């Protein structure tokens, strides 16, 4: 096998189909950038979940004496001290509970004032209107449902709330964006594959003279096919490299500079450079292999060996 001969064949082939090669590079680059973006998006979601789920609680609100009229569950009036101790005891017996904090009406009032101190509604509220609650921290935040079913129907419990619900909307939005990115990626991928198949077909046709002679003098089918496969792989690798550059530049402008989300959303912690870098080998490998395989399959149809 002569490397130089093969390389010069590849060079000739790529130059001959310059526009097609360019189209392949662009479509591979876009689809892989979207693919990498989707991967990073789901990593961002899981980073944020880790961060926020550590900070959120399940809250069990107890009946207040004012709730008797408004909430059907509290018709028996305010929760008694006995009910309260019972709930606390049961919570502490559960394996999935990490710790339990009891928040009195006064504490709840204080927190409320801190948050909404200046609003007109806050001014009308008195401490005894605030419900008492247990703030429960779970070892695994996903196990919320267990706590909810255990306590939601009990006497003296007004409601069980999972603070995750508030975050869930955000995460749903991000997952939606991820799915959309994957959908567009799939479309771009189909376009890229069709372009590769077409490029191979044109390339095989324009070189039918050479390949015909190669066949007659006994070149192996591998030898005849390799320049085509290497061409596709080379174009794909360039596309993969462009996709990598897009991901790096994308993180730079979205998070650190330009849009600078890191400054605008200080509460969110973003994925780091290492997360981006760790995706690049995968993107490059797919950029190399996928077009090569597509070319190989196309050759079986368009090139006699």
Sign of CA dihedral 19, 22, 24, 26: negative
Asked if residue 272 binds another protein (CB under 8 A), the reply is: no
Phi, psi of 242 (to 5 degrees): -65, -40
Asked if residue 3 binds another protein (CB under 8 A), the reply is: no
Cβ contact 132:74 at 8 Å: no
Contacts to another protein from residues 68-107, by CB under 8 A: none
Contacts to another protein from residues 154-213, by CB under 8 A: 209-210, 212-213
Smallest distance, another protein to C-beta of residue 202, A: 18
> What is the spatial distance between Cα 46 and Cα 84, in angstroms, rounded to a whole number?
36
Stretch that binds another protein, among 33-41, 122-130, 148-156, 220-228 (CB under 8 A): 220-228
Between residues 69 and 216, which has the closer beta carbon with respect to another protein? 216
Between residues 185 and 226, which has the closer beta carbon with respect to another protein? 226
Asked if residue 15 binds another protein (CB under 8 A), the reply is: no
Asked if residue 219 binds another protein (CB under 8 A), the reply is: yes
Cβ contact 139:58 at 8 Å: no
Tell me, rounded to whole angstroms, the distance of Cα 304 from its chain centroid: 44
- Please identify which residue in 109, 112, 171, 223 interacts with another protein, judged by CB under 8 A: 223
Count of chain residues binding another protein (CB under 8 A):
17
Cβ contact 272:62 at 8 Å: no
The Cβ-side half-sphere exposure at 33, using a 13 Å CA radius, reads 19
Between residues 213 and 265, which has the closer beta carbon with respect to another protein? 213
Asked if residue 18 binds another protein (CB under 8 A), the reply is: no
Between residues 1 and 18, which has the closer beta carbon with respect to another protein? 1
Asked if residue 218 binds another protein (CB under 8 A), the reply is: yes
Who contacts 23 (Cβ-Cβ below 8 Å, separation ≥6)? 195, 199
Smallest distance, another protein to C-beta of residue 3, A: 11
Mark 55-71 as b/e (b = at least 16 C-beta within 10 Å): ebbbbbbbbbeebeeee
Tell me which DSSP letter residue 57 carries: -
Nearest to 100 by CA among 80, 78, 79, 85: 85
Smallest distance, another protein to C-beta of residue 223, A: 6
- Site residues for another protein per CB under 8 A: 1-2, 5, 209-210, 212-221, 223-224
């Amino acid at each position: 096998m002569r490397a130089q001969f093969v390389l010069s064949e590849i060079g000739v082939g790529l130059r001959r189909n310059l526009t097609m090669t360019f189209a392949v590079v662009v479509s591979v680059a876009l689809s892989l950038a979207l693919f990498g973006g989707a991967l990073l998006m789901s990593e961002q979601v899981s980073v944020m979940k880790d961060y926020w789920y550590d900070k959120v609680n399940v809250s069990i609100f107890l009946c207040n004496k004012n709730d008797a009229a408004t909430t059907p569950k509290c018709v028996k009036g305010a929760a008694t001290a006995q009910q309260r101790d019972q709930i606390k005891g049961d919570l502490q017996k559960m394996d999935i509970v990490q710790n339990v904090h009891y928040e009195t009406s006064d504490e709840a009032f204080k927190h409320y004032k801190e948050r909404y101190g200046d609003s007109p509604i806050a001014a009308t509220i008195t401490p005894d209107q605030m419900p008492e609650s247990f703030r429960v921290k779970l070892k695994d935040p996903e196990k919320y449902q267990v706590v909810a079913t255990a306590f939601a129907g009990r006497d003296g419990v007004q409601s069980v709330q999972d603070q995750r619900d508030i975050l869930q909307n955000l995460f749903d939005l991000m997952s939606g964006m991820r799915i959309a990115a994957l959908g567009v990626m799939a479309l771009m991928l189909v376009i890229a594959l069709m372009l590769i198949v077409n490029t191979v077909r044109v390339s095989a046709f324009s070189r039918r003279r050479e390949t015909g002679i190669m066949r007659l003098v006994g070149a192996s089918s591998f030898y005849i096919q390799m320049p085509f496969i290497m061409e596709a792989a080379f174009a794909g690798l360039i596309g993969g490299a462009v996709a990598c550059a897009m991901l790096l530049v994308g993180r730079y402008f979205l998070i650190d500079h330009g849009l600078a989300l890191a400054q605008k959303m200080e509460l969110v912690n973003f994925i780091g450079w290492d997360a981006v870098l760790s995706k690049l080998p995968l993107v490059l490998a797919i950029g190399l292999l996928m077009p090569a395989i597509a070319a190989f399959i196309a050759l079986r149809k368009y090139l006699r060996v």
